[in-house]
Amino acid sequence: MHRDAYPSEVDFRQRLATPIFRWIGPLITLLLRRGMGEPNVVLTVRERRSGKPRTTPVAMFELGDHRFVEAAFGEVDWVRNLRASREAVIRRGRWSQAVRAIELPPEIAGKLVHDALAGFRRRPLLRSLLGPSVRPPAAILYRYRLRIDDGLQDYVNHARRCPWFELLPRDQAAVAT
């Protein structure tokens, strides 16, 4: 297994990035509600304990007619809530859609991202700046045609730290399951 798959300490870059994104999250949510900020969407999930709706901005990765979200910061509350409810609403501006979420195994998610980004030029400087564990969401990398990692195993290891969900329209999900 790759030695950076599970770093023993949190990298200083991740300690720096997390509070910055928590601080700008409400601003991004506001922009998304006004229809700006693609490929990002506002994800609304019912909290697993209280049942109250909780919203968070996430980058939605669209490949053909398939939609995915990546938990770029790992096992955070919205991930646990989405696992429990398996339902959410995605919203950008006036557009919204009720969806069912299916968590992807890391091997499938890693291959999906590896294959989607394979044709893009690798940016070693970006990888050295971000370190071994911090990665922009794959939707952002795809939009700007960037690739950071090389091998399939790098992507699988990242998917183990940052879960992936496929989002199916709620009416279509009943047919798929």
Give bridge partners of residue 91 from the DSSP assignment. 42, 96
CA distance 57 to 26: 8
Give the residue-averaged pLDDT of 131-139. Answer: 67
More confident residue, 137 or 24: 137
Residue reference for tokens 């979200």 = 69
Which CATH number fits the domain that encloses residue 91? 2.30.110.10
What is the count of structural domains for the chain? 1
28-37, 40-49, 53-62, 105-114: least confidently modelled range: 28-37
Residue 63 in any domain: the answer is yes
Asked whether the predicted pLDDT for residue 163 surpasses 70, the reply is: yes
- 137-159 pLDDT, tens digit each: 776 677 666 677 778 888 898 89
Residue 1 in any domain: the answer is no
Residue 26 in any domain: the answer is yes
More confident residue, 11 or 119: 119
pLDDT of amino acid 83: 96
CA distance 117 to 119: 6
| Beta-sheet strands, E only, within the chain | 40-46, 53-63, 66-70, 87-92, 95-104, 164-169
DSSP helix/strand/coil, 89: strand
More confident residue, 121 or 106: 106
Residue 83 in any domain: the answer is yes
Asked whether the predicted pLDDT for residue 80 surpasses 80, the reply is: yes
Output the six-digit token pair for 161: 């730290």
- 4-15 pLDDT, tens digit each: 444 456 565 566
Q: Which domain holds residue 60?
A: 12-176
Output the six-digit token pair for 157: 């290891």
